[in-house]
């Protein structure tokens, strides 16, 4: 077995043996559970898929060119991310991602850090709706999906990240990359059984400017805002534009676009975005506040004052900020 990582080298020497002992324990526990469980497992999502294929979804799809990454013990998080980053044209390896996402003390990777590491790679981390159909739609649109599955029992979980790269509804199969297995096929029901313990957790890593096939406006806007927040306004700008191409009046979309244009040193473009926001959402005090601030920056003080007065008149939680903006403008006039 290849052990290429100092984190692994530093792990207690008995770790692998412990895993085997645990596996033996699971055999007993699982058989016991199987005997009492007979017929109690409910797999609503795959049953719905078997019953009727979702409208507009191709019967089968498989992404042929998703790179595989060999994975040593415990490193399925970095390996899964490396595959989906590569698919989004971002160079990454298990070695480069391990220090960003692997947590030695837990011998694994946390879900939040899978999302955070995706942002650090300059990609939009988008959590899918907890639905089988959403995963299949993303794959059909060409995006591999990272899922969190439980390989053991609910009471004694062994959590594992895998990458869904294909499906076949006629044969009732999903295709995935898991651990060192380059191509694995699971039945839809069996996969749902493994997947449901994580609350059907699934994420995609999207290149800037790419809209997920199953994008929901508030969730996608929040995903882009998270990328903006960690200091990547250029990537966020592309994705806000994609969001606005689909939802032209989106308040977080217009607002976010204005803020990143401003951060990128283009107050004229920021002013256009905030103006669109204030026209589409005349009740939004933050939109008028930011419009006023940007107009003042451009030296258009009369318009800035009018916008600031509107923001103050609208009041609400932004009132304090709006008053400060108005005072600052009045001092300059």
Partner 1 sequence: MSTSFVRLVSRLLVVCMIALPFQAHAGLIGTDEVISATQAAAARDTVASFLNRSDVSGQLQALGLSARDAKDRVAALTDAEVAKLAGQIESLPAGAGSDGAALILILLIVWLVWWLATKK
DSSP state of 210: P
Rule CB under 8 A: which of 16-35 touch partner 1?
16, 19-20, 22-23, 26-27, 30-31, 33-35
Rule CB under 8 A: which of 40-99 touch partner 1?
40-41, 43, 71, 73-77, 80, 99
120 makes contact with partner 1 (CB under 8 A): yes
Q: Quick one: which of 122, 166, 212, 256 contacts partner 1 (CB under 8 A)?
A: 256
324 makes contact with partner 1 (CB under 8 A): yes
Number of C-beta neighbours around residue 48 at 10 A: 15
116 makes contact with partner 1 (CB under 8 A): yes
115 makes contact with partner 1 (CB under 8 A): yes
Handedness of CA 147, 176, 189, 77 (dihedral sign): negative
Q: Return the structure tokens found at 70.
A: 């060999």
Q: Quick one: which of 60, 67, 107, 241 contacts partner 1 (CB under 8 A)?
A: 107
Instruction: Select 22 or 309, whichever has its Cβ closest to partner 1.
Output: 22
104 makes contact with partner 1 (CB under 8 A): yes
Q: How far is C-alpha 297 from the geometric centre of its chain's CA atoms?
A: 35
**C-alpha span between 232 and 322 (Å, rounded):** 26
Q: Quick one: which of 5, 137, 160, 276 contacts partner 1 (CB under 8 A)?
A: 160
Rule CB under 8 A: which of 170-229 touch partner 1?
178-180, 189-190, 193-194, 198, 218, 221-222, 225-226, 228-229
Instruction: Select 61 or 147, whichever has its Cβ closest to partner 1.
Output: 147
Rule CB under 8 A: which of 259-318 touch partner 1?
259, 262, 284, 286, 289-290, 293-294, 316-318
**C-alpha span between 124 and 312 (Å, rounded):** 34
In the complex, the smallest distance separating the C-beta of residue 130 from partner 1, rounded to whole angstroms, is: 14
Q: Return the structure tokens found at 315.
A: 């009041």
Burial bucket for residue 322 (CB in 10 Å: 0-12, 13-18, 19+): buried
Contacting range for partner 1; rule: CB under 8 A; set: 85-93, 102-110, 205-213, 241-249: 102-110
161 makes contact with partner 1 (CB under 8 A): yes
**C-alpha span between 183 and 165 (Å, rounded):** 9
Number of C-beta neighbours around residue 234 at 10 A: 13
Instruction: Select 218 or 282, whichever has its Cβ closest to partner 1.
Output: 218
Residue 310 falls in which region: left (phi positive, over 0), alpha (psi -120 to 50) or beta: alpha
**C-alpha span between 13 and 193 (Å, rounded):** 32
Q: Which residues on neighbouring strands pair with residue 125, listed in sequence order?
A: 205
Which helix (H) or strand (E) segment holds residue 204: the answer is: strand 202-206
113 makes contact with partner 1 (CB under 8 A): yes
């Amino acid at each position: 077995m290849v052990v290429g990582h100092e984190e692994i080298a530093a792990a207690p020497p008995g770790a692998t043996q412990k895993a085997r002992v645990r596996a033996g324990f699971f055999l007993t526990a699982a058989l016991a559970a199987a005997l009492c469980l007979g017929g109690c497992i409910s797999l609503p999502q795959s049953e719905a898929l078997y019953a009727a294929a979702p409208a507009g979804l191709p019967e089968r799809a498989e992404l042929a060119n998703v790179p595989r990454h060999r994975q040593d013990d415990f490193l399925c998080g970095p390996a899964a991310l490396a595959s989906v980053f590569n698919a989004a044209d971002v160079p990454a390896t298990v070695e480069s991602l391990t220090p960003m996402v692997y947590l030695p003390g837990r011998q694994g990777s946390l879900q939040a850090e899978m999302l955070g590491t995706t942002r650090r790679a300059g990609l939009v981390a988008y959590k899918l709706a907890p639905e089988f159909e959403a995963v299949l739609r993303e794959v059909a649109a060409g995006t591999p999906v990272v899922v969190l599955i439980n390989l053991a029992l609910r009471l004694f979980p062994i959590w594992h990240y895998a990458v869904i790269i294909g499906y076949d509804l006629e044969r009732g199969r999903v295709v995935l990359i898991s651990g060192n297995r380059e191509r694995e096929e699971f039945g839809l029901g069996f996969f749902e059984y493994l997947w449901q313990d994580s609350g059907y957790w699934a994420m995609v890593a999207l290149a800037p400017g790419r809209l997920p096939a199953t994008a929901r406006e508030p969730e996608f806007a929040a995903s882009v805002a998270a990328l903006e927040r960690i200091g990547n306004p250029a990537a966020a700008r592309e994705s806000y534009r994609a969001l606005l191409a689909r939802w032209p009046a989106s308040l977080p979309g217009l607002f976010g676009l204005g803020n990143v244009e401003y951060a990128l040193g283009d107050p004229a473009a920021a002013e256009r975005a905030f103006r669109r926001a204030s026209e589409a959402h005349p009740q939004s005090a933050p939109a008028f506040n930011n419009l006023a601030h940007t107009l003042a920056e451009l030296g258009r003080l009369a318009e800035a004052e009018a916008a600031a007065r509107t923001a103050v008149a609208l009041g609400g939680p932004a009132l304090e900020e709006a008053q400060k903006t108005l005072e600052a403008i009045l001092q300059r006039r």
